[in-house]
Structure 1
Amino acid sequence: MTSLRNNPSDGPRDAYLDAARACILDVGWRRTTLTEVARRAGVSRMTIYRSWSDMQTLLGDLMTREWTGVVQTALAAQDPAQPAVARLVDGIVGTVRVLRDNELFVRIIELDPELILPYVLSRRGRSQDLILALTDQAIRDAQAAGEVRAGSSVAIARGLLLAAHGFVLSAHTMVDDAVSEAELDAELTTLLTRTLVP
């Protein structure tokens, strides 16, 4: 799988992103500054400014690294012996679960939910494009094998991502004494499976 993480030669950038992540977990994005990131990383403020001109740019790189890691974790848990539809559905549902429990994601939703809105209402982010590319390729491969219904693989992939958004962002609003998170995930599994099967 193609990774959006920084190249190995960019090791210091990962350390700076780690420092930014720690800041956001501690005080939230609004109270995190490039100066504080530099302090936590043990470098000068200008060192950080050479890589990121502002916190928004840094946050974009941090979220791309974080969400790409979530996708990689879910893909690594897949069973290659499963049929294509089950593997694809398990990958999506697994990504939803891991993302929903990711501490950076949870912290952003708790303190700074407006940071997520552009990626829901206005535009796609780099990690969303990565997910779409991986899903599109998996759908095309499965279509060629006759395991996924005919249709535009791009449109199907985008439909799956839109469905998954709700289970990431809003599942907590649907969990109560009547319905558990596990039951909702089972519904997502059914929804995705029925969408994909021929």
Structure 2
Amino acid sequence: MLSISNDTAAAKPEDLGDRILDAAASCVLAYGVDRVTLAEIARRAGVSRPTIYRRWPDTRALLAALLTARIIRVLRDLPSRGTGREALVERIVAVAERLRHDDVVMSVFHSAPELAMVYIAERLGTSQQILIEAVAAELKTAQRDGSVRAGDPHQLAAMCLLITQSTIQSAQIVAPILDADALAAELTRALNGYLRP
């Protein structure tokens, strides 16, 4: 049987990081955010705790990396299906819908509000900055074709983030009024209205 240290040495760095993040995700789903420990993540990933500490200083940093990885994966998996405002809004709504159904992301929102609040009210996280950059780039293209109003693309993208993030985090409380289809339709309408020239 291979020891943990031999297993760690044989793994590629990106594979090891993914394995640790996958273990963290399984811990979040099994125990909730508050009861996740680095020891259990290490056990599930088949690595030592020092291996995790070489990448992340604590559980909170590891969970932030997990959220970033999941959000970026959704963005990558849902590429734009064209140019212009309508294609961009369609992509934003699709990303929001996928994140709203991501068990790990929603577990953090619901079981660790203090962690979520850091990225809702205090500072932009890495994934939020990446989302803003991606949307701003598509907004510039849409502005050139005339389907998006004039304005600083980063400011417009930041506002799109706020609108969409609010929709994701609050969808559950308005579910009796806005089911999933209605929520997507209204988010589409809101973003198109905001961006239309």
Q: TM-score, normalised by structure 2?
A: 0.88
| Percent identity between the two aligned chains | 35
Contact preservation (8 Å) 1:93, 1:188: yes
* 2:137 aligned residue: 137
Distance in structure 2 (CA, Å) of the matches to 1:179 and 1:130? 29
* 1:3 aligned residue: none
Contact preservation (8 Å) 1:74, 1:98: no
* 1:92 aligned residue: 92
* 1:109 aligned residue: 109
* 2:29 aligned residue: 25
Q: How big is the shift at 1:124?
A: 0.5
For this pair of structures, how many residues does the alignment match?
186
Evaluate the alpha carbon distance shift between residue 39 and residue 185 of structure 1 in structure 2; reply closer, same or farther with a 3 A threshold. same
- From 63, 67, 79, give the equivalent of 1:63: 67
> Alpha carbon RMSD of aligned pairs, Å?
1.5
Aligned to 1:25, the other structure's residue is in SS state: helix
User: Would you say 1:72 and 2:71 are equivalent positions?
Assistant: no
Q: How big is the shift at 1:57?
A: 1.3
* 2:118 aligned residue: 118
Distance in structure 1 (CA, Å) of the matches to 2:13 and 2:129? 24
Q: How big is the shift at 1:162?
A: 0.9
Distance in structure 1 (CA, Å) of the matches to 2:106 and 2:143? 35
Aligned to 1:51, the other structure's residue is in SS state: coil
Q: How big is the shift at 1:9?
A: 4.3
Structure 2 unaligned regions, length at least 5: 1-11
Q: How big is the shift at 1:36?
A: 1.0
Structure 1 unaligned regions, length at least 5: 1-7
* 2:156 aligned residue: 156
Distance in structure 1 (CA, Å) of the matches to 2:130 and 2:88? 15
Q: How big is the shift at 1:196?
A: 1.5
**Equivalent position amino acid for 1:125 in 2:** G
* 1:11 aligned residue: 15
